[in-house]
Amino acid sequence: MRTTATAWSARAADAVIRREPVVGTRWAYEWATLLKGVDQVRRATADRRYLEYIRSNVDRFVGDGGIATYAREAYDLDGVAGGPLLLRLYRETGEERYRAAAAILREQLRAQPRTPSGGFWHKRIYPDQMWLDGIYMAGPFYAEFAVLFGEKAALDDVAAQITLIAERTRDARTGLLRHAWDESRRERWADPATGRSPSAWGRALGWFVMAVADVLELLPEHSAQRDRIAPVLAETMDAVKSVQDDATGVWWQVVDQGGREGNYLEASASCMFVYAAAKGVRLGLLGRAHLDAARKGYEGILAQFVTASADGDVTLRGTCAGTGLGRRPDEPDMTYRDGSYDYYVRRPIETNDHRGLGAFLMASVELERASGGP
């Protein structure tokens, strides 16, 4: 499929480039998510302007193979999220510095602290905790690096990370995954019996299903890893589809509490679910009903969250601000993030947030691809 300039994906990517020629002041997952969306538009259009935009922003951090502002000692999975951009630039340019920078992130994963069950800690400051977010931050890069450089055992580990967190965060009643799991049960937000956090937050689920879809695309069609994690995508997306808002087609901030006082329709999770559903159908892993749900969701996204001006600007409203759990060791107790319903629905709402825009670009490319064009 060759996307045209009139498609939403290209329109939104062009608006991003005009509005933000430079993104980010530190190595961070937020703008990496945006640039990964731009890269999917690049692959759909074969327009090298998008590659140059990605390269100019990555090159602000990657010089001779190091990564400016990146701190391995934090063992923060968020810091690995830019890895696929490095691998893409290495493939496109052949420049060794991108491979060397990617290898730095791979070395972090070799040393990443793990829970007793073998799951990566989300960050060093969150001992024994796995967050759904972390599967997206590290999983697709980990898998792509393993495929590119022949690390079969690493692919087994990627599958193990996905299945472990799905098993430990899944609510048996709804089939939905909770935001995080603390194997130690020490954290205040952790259920003392299961270690799960209290709520099914939309974007955490969105990160997870996007990651699983991306990993599955990288794996050989007939492989033990694919057979192991494909049912995880199917089961989770069935649960996600069941809580899609009938009236608007999009999803709520706390996905299984639609219509409850304070809850709001949220853009980034909606885009992520549409992307994972459409991609899962394209890969032959989800049934046709999921493509219908994705199309309904995408129409809802355009109606609820997207505006376009006469001068070509494209705006995405309705994205939840950065949201976590617990607190950093240097923060006061009053800032504690308890993972409750009230915590999530009180999170601020942003416009043109990089997480939401990146997911919108990805969802747009997948829906355009499913439709054979705009």
Active site residues: 133
Alpha helices for 46-179 (secondary structure H): 48-58, 83-93, 96-111, 132-149, 152-169
368 within 8 A of 279, measured Cβ to Cβ: no
Q: How many residues are present in the chain? A: 374
Q: How far apart are CA 312 and CA 321, in angstroms?
A: 25
Going by C-alpha positions, the residue among 38, 215, 52, 227 that lies closest to residue 144 is 215
Q: What share of the chain is helix, strand, coil (3-state, %, to 5)?
A: 55, 10, 35
Q: Which two tokens mark 24?
A: 């980010």
Tokens 């060397």 belong to residue:
100
Q: How far apart are CA 142 and CA 149, in angstroms?
A: 11
Q: How far apart are CA 271 and CA 34, in angstroms?
A: 13
Q: Report CA-CA distances (Å) from 286 to 133, 264, 307.
A: 22, 28, 30
Going by C-alpha positions, the residue among 98, 77, 103 that lies closest to residue 88 is 98
